[in-house]
């Protein structure tokens, strides 16, 4: 009998595709299939020729781009020299997650499906195109497609005699078990974020612990928005970057939320544990130290401030001993309850921690072993780098608006990363932030004679500050910036810096302060007013135009 084995590979930017891939993995376990769930870049693509059955789950980002964790796979798969029949033994299915308000809707899934066909793969089903714009979200497509997928797979790989599909009412074992260490066991020195000289270039698995040098508010105290210019010391990190690059920052939960979470689940923050995979072959979470404290797990790993997904309520329902709470949780995890869930969670941006407060009987019954199944890990946040190494060697700066807004919930919503960064005070000692750098999408011209037109309203000016600093240091002229904000006196970022460059003849600056007069004036009005200059730069100067905001 054929080996009953399934590989689920995902390309995920925000976590939705990973969540769906893990849902497929749980479905496979219920069908008694051996199943691995991995990101596309962590699997060895050359081994695909030995895989009988693969489900691909992939999101599309930006303008039809593959997510970061499938870029190497993507480059390999589209190599011209791959033989046409190389995947002829592969049964596959592709599930795409996208947003039809973008022109390249589900471009990655469509292109992947077509390429696997070219290489001789046998599709089990037509490609599924989940759409964020649908009233019920991507699940409107995903739910029926998955039912059809399991039918196909069971027809090809029938259940062995004597086995039955595990009912949805039976809870699957956790991915890991938490083994608490005795209170008196010796504590190894925790070298979690040593600013030691790195052996590898800093990356997601090995971030550099950069010291915060300064954290300065650049908007007036009377202005509604708090915007910060934050400087990091990256000496000895091996990090290099150029204008247009992006810094990835790994944030952490605030101490009050961590304390509340521990109280709700009756967890002792200082208890130490080691994780053991339930199934052989499952790797441990790469960013968690072993042994680890409950406090570290909740502060640095579990995303208790994210808006919970349907899978959260599905697993939570299985712990519930309270009938009222269980009924509501089951409704939230059903296909029919998705509109209700959207109104409860997504519209008001309710956090995982707040949802747990609403189900207190269920929450205190959550076994610690299931925490890593229930709550996703905290994802890194991307910021445009707002400085140049040529102007500030061994330093890096970001320009960041602190995210804070109201919904119908009484407590204002706060951005996890920006609130944490804003709270860091370098005057209170050695404050460090885990970070690494990624190539950005903006490339500035290498030819000094090519003029550059930059349109950067608000904090969108960040990458252009890096570009202008870099170009000025290299002696490049032809720097033209359109900057817009509300008030000249309240949120005109880097005003002195721009004005000095204008005085020296190194920058042409056009500003639009939208609220400083009766009529609102925006950057596009300034571009129209200066249309002749813009056209001259484009037609005879062959200028490059950049827009960020």
pLDDT tens sequence for the chain (549 residues): 578 999 999 999 989 999 999 999 999 999 999 999 999 999 888 889 999 999 999 999 988 999 989 999 999 999 999 999 999 999 999 999 999 999 999 999 999 999 999 999 999 999 999 999 987 789 899 999 999 999 999 999 999 999 999 998 899 999 999 999 998 777 765 544 544 444 678 999 999 999 999 999 999 999 999 999 999 999 999 999 999 999 999 999 999 999 999 999 999 999 999 999 998 888 899 899 999 999 999 999 999 999 999 999 999 999 999 999 999 999 999 988 988 999 999 999 999 999 999 999 999 999 999 999 999 999 999 999 999 999 999 999 999 999 999 999 999 999 999 999 999 999 999 999 999 999 998 999 999 999 999 999 999 999 999 999 999 999 999 999 999 999 999 999 999 999 999 999 999 999 999 999 999 999 999 999 999 999 999 999 999 999 998
Q: What is the per-residue burial (b if ≥16 Cβ within 10 Å, else e) of 345-360?
A: beeebbbbbbbbeebe
Give 31-50 as a 3 state SS string.
CCCEEEEEEHHHCCHHHHHH
Please give the pLDDT value at position 194.
46
Long-range contacts of the stretch 268-272 (C-beta < 8 A, 24+): 268/294, 269/293, 269/294, 269/295, 269/298, 270/294, 270/295, 271/180, 271/181, 271/183, 272/180, 272/181, 272/185, 272/187
Separation of alpha carbons 139 and 126, rounded Å: 16
Separation of alpha carbons 293 and 274, rounded Å: 9
Terminal CA-CA length for the chain: 58
The SS3 assignment for 145 reads: helix
Please give the pLDDT value at position 196.
47
| Cβ contacts of 289 within 8 Å, gap of 6 or more | 190, 192, 296
| Contact yes or no for 453/442 (Cβ under 8 A) | no
Q: Give yes or no for a cis peptide into 481 (omega within 30° of 0).
A: no
Cβ neighbours around 429 below 10 Å, total: 6
Angle, helices 495-503 vs 462-473, to 10°: value is 30
Angle, helices 16-30 vs 310-319, to 10°: value is 40
| Entry pTM | 0.92
Separation of alpha carbons 352 and 527, rounded Å: 44
> What would the two tokens of residue 519 be?
């009529």
**272 strand-pairing partners:** 293
* DSSP string over 402-433: PPEE--SSSSPEE-HHHHHHHH--GGGS--EE
Separation of alpha carbons 153 and 532, rounded Å: 64
- List domains and CATH numbers for the chain: 5-156 (3.40.50.360), 208-251+380-438 (2.40.30.10), 255-374 (1.20.990.10), 452-547 (3.40.50.80)
> What would the two tokens of residue 304 be?
């208790």
Separation of alpha carbons 4 and 158, rounded Å: 9
* DSSP code of residue 344: I
* DSSP string over 473-533: HTT---EEEEEEES-TTTS-TTHHHHHHHHHTTS-EEEEEETTSSSS---HHHHHHHTHHH
| Contact yes or no for 211/233 (Cβ under 8 A) | yes
Separation of alpha carbons 507 and 367, rounded Å: 60
| Contact yes or no for 538/452 (Cβ under 8 A) | no
Please give the pLDDT value at position 296.
98
| Contact yes or no for 366/319 (Cβ under 8 A) | yes
Up-side HSE of residue 190: CA atoms within 13 Å toward CB?
11
| Residue 107, φ and ψ in degrees, nearest 5 | -60, -40
The SS3 assignment for 86 reads: coil
| Contact yes or no for 466/386 (Cβ under 8 A) | yes
> What would the two tokens of residue 529 be?
């007013």
């Amino acid at each position: 009998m054929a080996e009953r084995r399934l590989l689920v590979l995902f390309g995920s930017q925000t976590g939705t595709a990973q969540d769906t891939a893990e849902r497929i993995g749980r479905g496979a376990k219920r069908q008694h299939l051996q199943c691995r769930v991995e990101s596309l870049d962590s699997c060895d693509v050359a081994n695909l020729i030995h895989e009988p059955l693969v489900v691909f789950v992939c999101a599309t980002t930006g303008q039809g781009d593959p997510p970061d964790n499938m870029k190497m796979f993507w480059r390999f798969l589209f190599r011209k020299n791959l033989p046409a029949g190389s995947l002829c033994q592969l049964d596959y299915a592709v599930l795409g997650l996208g947003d039809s308000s973008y022109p390249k809707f589900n471009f990655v899934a469509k292109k992947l499906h077509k390429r696997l066909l070219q290489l001789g793969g046998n599709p089990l089903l037509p490609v599924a195109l989940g759409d964020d714009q649908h009233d019920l979200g991507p699940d409107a497509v995903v739910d029926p497609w998955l039912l059809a997928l399991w039918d196909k797979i069971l027809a090809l790989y029938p259940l062995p005699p004597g086995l039955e599909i595990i009912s949805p009412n039976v809870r699957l074992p956790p991915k890991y078990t938490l083994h608490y260490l005795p209170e008196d066991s010796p504590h190894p020195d925790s070298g979690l974020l040593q600013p030691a000289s790195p052996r590898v270039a800093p990356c997601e698995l090995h971030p550099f612990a950069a010291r915060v040098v300064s954290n300065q508010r650049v908007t007036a105290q009377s202005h509604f928005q708090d915007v910060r210019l934050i400087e990091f010391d990256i000496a000895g990190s091996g990090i290099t970057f150029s204008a247009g690059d992006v810094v990835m920052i790994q944030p952490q939960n605030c101490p009050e939320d961590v304390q509340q979470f521990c109280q709700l689940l009756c967890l002792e923050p200082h208890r130490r544990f080691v994780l053991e995979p339930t199934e052989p072959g499952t790797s441990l979470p790469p960013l968690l130290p072993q042994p680890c404290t409950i406090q570290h797990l909740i502060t640095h790993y579990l995303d208790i401030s994210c808006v919970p997904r349907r899978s959260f309520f599905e697993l939570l329902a299985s712990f519930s001993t309270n009938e009222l709470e269980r009924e509501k949780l089951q409704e939230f995890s059903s296909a029919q309850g998705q509109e209700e869930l959207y109104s409860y969670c997504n519209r008001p941006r309710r956090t995982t921690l707040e949802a747990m407060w609403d189900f207190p009987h269920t929450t205190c019954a959550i076994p610690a072993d299931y925490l890593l199944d229930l709550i996703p890990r905290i994802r890194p946040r991307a910021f445009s780098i707002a400085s140049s190494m040529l102007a500030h060697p061994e330093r890096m700066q970001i320009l960041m608006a602190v995210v804070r807004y109201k919904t119908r919930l009484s407590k204002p919503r706060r951005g996890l990363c920006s609130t944490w960064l804003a709270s860091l005070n370098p005057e209170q000692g050695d404050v460090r932030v885990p970070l690494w750098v990624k190539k950005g999408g903006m490339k500035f011209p290498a030819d000094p004679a090519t003029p550059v037109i930059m349109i950067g309203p608000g904090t969108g000016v960040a990458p252009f500050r890096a570009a202008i600093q870099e170009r000025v240091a290299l002696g490049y002229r032809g720097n033209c910036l359109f900057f817009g904000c509300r008030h000249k006196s309240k949120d005109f970022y880097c005003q002195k810096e721009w004005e000095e460059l204008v005085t020296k003849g190194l920058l042409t600056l056009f500003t639009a302060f939208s609220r400083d007069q009766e009529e609102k004036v925006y950057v596009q009005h300034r571009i129209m007013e200066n249309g002749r200059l813009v056209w001259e730069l484009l037609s005879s100067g062959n200028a490059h135009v950049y827009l960020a905001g």
